[in-house]
Amino acid sequence: MTMTTTAAPVTETPARIEGRSPWLLAWRRLRRDRVAMVSLAIIVVIFLVAVFAPVVAALTGHPPNEQYRQTGLTPDGLPRPPSGTFLFGTDDLGRDILVRVAYGARVSLGVGVVATLLTVVVGVVIGVAAGFLGGWVDTVLARLIDVVLSLPFLLTAIALVSLSGPSLTLTVLVIGFFSWSSVARIVRGQVLSIKEREYVEAARSLGAGDLRIMAVDVLPNVLAPVIVYTTLLIPVVISVQASLSFLGLGIEPPTADWGGMIAESRNYYQTSWWFMFLPGMALVFTTLVFNLLGDGVRDAFDPRVDRLIRK
């Protein structure tokens, strides 16, 4: 797996032999990708905003769910445009949109990361098991993957969520339930080819059991496509979570969340553009930087793409 630099002719100081794992190589390529690094920096900033949302609330002096019916609404009871007091304006209940956008980042990033991790862990475990064990395990799991992939996603997700009312935990579970199958399918395909390799045979002839081979020899070799898929899955999950909230199925009001805020703004878009556009821009911007980073990660793991274009 590791590559070594060719040793220089023997001299006083032997040439330093440096092990470069595929991970290190990928990381180096990623670090040279300016767009990806800027995106990564912005993602870090968005994470900080999410973590320090209470600080934003303290700085403005406006708690996220506080309704300023006097100062935050016009005499006609409409949202107020951005101003010195309310930098992003107010919503239909006179709440500070800036503070709510900051708190909304917690929901989007939280669900995005947790649901994605859940998806990937379940998908990898099932994919490795199906691909490596084969036989009836593979038959059952492959059929299960087919069933989940033939369910109309959003329709079933809405049905599931509506049964027990909006909740964040359920949103995470529903997204995880529907997404693991694509990860499992990718991983299963990879494992099918990996298990025929010599090093797996070598491990087996040394007396390693199925579990050990799966964990030590197979798993590390399927991680590259999984990491690429994970980075690109996060923005999709954020988008789905926002869509569920938009349909009123994501999270219980008055908790601030981007999709929910955009839904609330629907009756006010003719008078109060900021109510819809500012949370909307936060949402698009976040998914955009994740997608840019994901593209970079993919190119870093698959430099072939780059070479194809250069020639």
Partner 1 sequence: MVRFLVRRTLSGLLVLWLISMAVFALFFITPSNVARTIAGRQATPEIIAAVNRRLGLDQPLWKQYLSFVNKALHGDLGYDFYHQVSVAHIIGQALPITVSLAVGASIIWLALGVFNGVMSAVHPRSFLDRALTAVSLFFFSIPSFLLGLVLLYFLYFRLTVAGYTWFPAGGYAPLSAGLGPWLNHLILPWFTLALISAAVYTRLTRGSMLDILSEDYIKTARSKGLSERRVVYRHGLRSALTPVVTQFGIDLGQLVGGVIITETVFSLPGLGKTSYDAITQQDLPVIIGIVLFAATAVIVANILVDVAYALLDPRVRMH
Contact set with partner 1 (CB under 8 A): 143, 146-147, 149-160, 162-164, 235, 239, 242-243, 246-247, 259, 262, 266, 269-270, 273, 276, 280, 283-284, 287-288, 291-292, 295, 305, 308-309, 311
Phi/psi of residue 79, nearest 5 degrees: -60, 150
Measured from the CB atom, is 171 or 239 closer to partner 1?
Answer: 239
**Residue nearer to partner 1 on the CB measure, 99 or 261:** 261
What tokens were used for 110?
A: 């939280």
Nearer to partner 1, 16 or 311 (CB): 311
Q: Least separation, in Å, of the C-beta of 35 and partner 1?
A: 10
Non-local (6+) Cβ contacts of 230 within 8 A are 116, 120
Min. distance of Cβ 243 from partner 1 in angstroms? 6
- Class of residue 12 by CB neighbours under 10 A (exposed 0-12, middle 13-18, buried 19+): exposed
The tokens 């101003």 sit on which residue? 83
At its nearest, how many Å lie between partner 1 and the CB of residue 285? 8
Residues with Cβ within 8 Å of residue 60, at least 6 apart in sequence = 87, 96, 98, 99
Phi and psi angles of residue 90, each rounded to the nearest 5 degrees, phi first? -125, 165
Is 57 or 141 the residue whose CB approaches partner 1 more closely? 141
DSSP-derived 3-state class of residue 47 = helix
Q: How far is the CB of 61 from partner 1 (least distance, A)?
A: 30
Reported as half-sphere exposure (CB side, CA atoms, 13 A), residue 232 has a value of 14
Q: Which is nearer to partner 1, 93 or 158 (CB)?
A: 158
User: Taking the mean position of all CA atoms in its chain, how far away is CA 259?
Assistant: 16
In whole angstroms, the minimum distance from the beta carbon of 87 to partner 1 comes to: 21
